[in-house]
Structure 1
């Protein structure tokens, strides 16, 4: 089946007969009905309905579906909640009339009873997508396996190549073109990045669940659970994000692109540049602090007599420290660090002896 893409549009206007026949084709998985008026069928161009000799009929193309649903109405239908059918936001009066007229949406009350369009402004009434509307935009009629892994309103991780995973909220099911509408989340996102958008379904992965820790050492012997905090991103993760932003800043533009496309590309470059500068400053401060205060040096170690004996056998130079091995371990030094210190002291002493 030909898939309607959000970049397709048409400026040609359908006649009432053509619209009736092509809407009927939507109900039949895109196949034009054989019993339709032959004159109407002949006036439907191949760009709207292509002949398929193997299947023995004519089927709607992406351009034909675009002629039935202008870009704004298609976007409205594609953003419908697949579980409840509710259309999001506020629908213009003319769009509402057109969607109801073509059978792509229906006005219903809270209990799902259809209503005339004159009751649009009554409290509790709302537009909902119909089965024909679902077929037009490629929305599944029943819940696919994807909905079991990622229910509507649940959280997932959006992972693109070369960029760190980003948490997103699932807003729908995969459409016929393989995309799912999501809402990115994050405190560092720009206005453009935080807007809902379609993303490929294969880039969505389950969100990690926070581990549950059982607390048993309570004075009243009661057992309670608490959720660990989500770990902060590491420097390596942040470095990958900075590389992705840098690539967006220096991304080349197509010379033959339209003016509005070049302006949009420049705006995206500027947004990425500002975010790159802010995040690099934070990254530099964090990396500098990490270099000046290595975490491994702040961990005390309690070495048993057997462990000390094993280290002395492995590193004979530690014999010079005697009982200070355990003390230095408590201060956070590893055995290899103690050995290096002893070697440096011996080298310095030998150098002083040779000079004298």
Structure 2
């Protein structure tokens, strides 16, 4: 499927990895960088790019291990800092010197905060971001359930999903095929992309680097329920509370304007997400759950709100927009509404 009008693609050699990049707008426009999430690529932003004002230079890379970018392993012990460093290396290679407006979807939310901790930014837009305490295995205050962070990381991936990704399964034959995973979890019930675009998104996800260095990552045995703890490589380990934390946003100086947009029907990043091990244990789907006092379901949205409240109390500005009826992908499901919120936010910055 060809790119939408006004969008161009290129491969860029950086001093870290070789990256596939989508771009739109003039080279001298104010830069917007769109950082996708887990099991996705830059093309999940394509319709957003087509709808943004042409005065902006919009840059959407495939992150390492995804899409057509280099299948380089991710050092999970750095959280999402590899992604942040890759973005900076890309902007350097493209000759972008102005502080960018950064948009981070899901996993990308942690990466853009890591970027802002090291480099000037014009703004941060958190699009259904991962919890500031990582994904899985934490109490409401962000304290890990276990010292080894068991119940998070590479060992928590559904093995049937992993095997079907590795096999390139583009069918709808199983609930674990990525086509059905996208429709069940990326979007709210009732939303379906046109067939040609759905086929495109499926093909894009099937480009994912599968294995210890990519998706889902490695794991180590644990004496704690459910029996595995995070390893050191791969995207799910980078999202583990052992390594992932974007609570540092509170201490940014200077503090860029922040926009948080979230789908009201998001079940991937949610209080009690059915994909998180605490909630799965509570449902009875994994034997031996030690109960809510030991391993509670994670209140992810509550945690996001609490950390952003602290950011505001520390002098930052935060705008929040809950996109009613959208799931984990409001920029796709409710594109025009999301674009209106985002462009209004950019207009307030100047």
User: Shorter-chain-normalised TM-score: which range?
Assistant: under 0.3
TM-score relative to the length of structure 1: 0.22
Q: For the pair shown, which has the larger CA radius of gyration, 1 or 2?
A: 1
Higher relative contact order (CA 8 A, sep 6+): 2
TM-score relative to the length of structure 2: 0.22
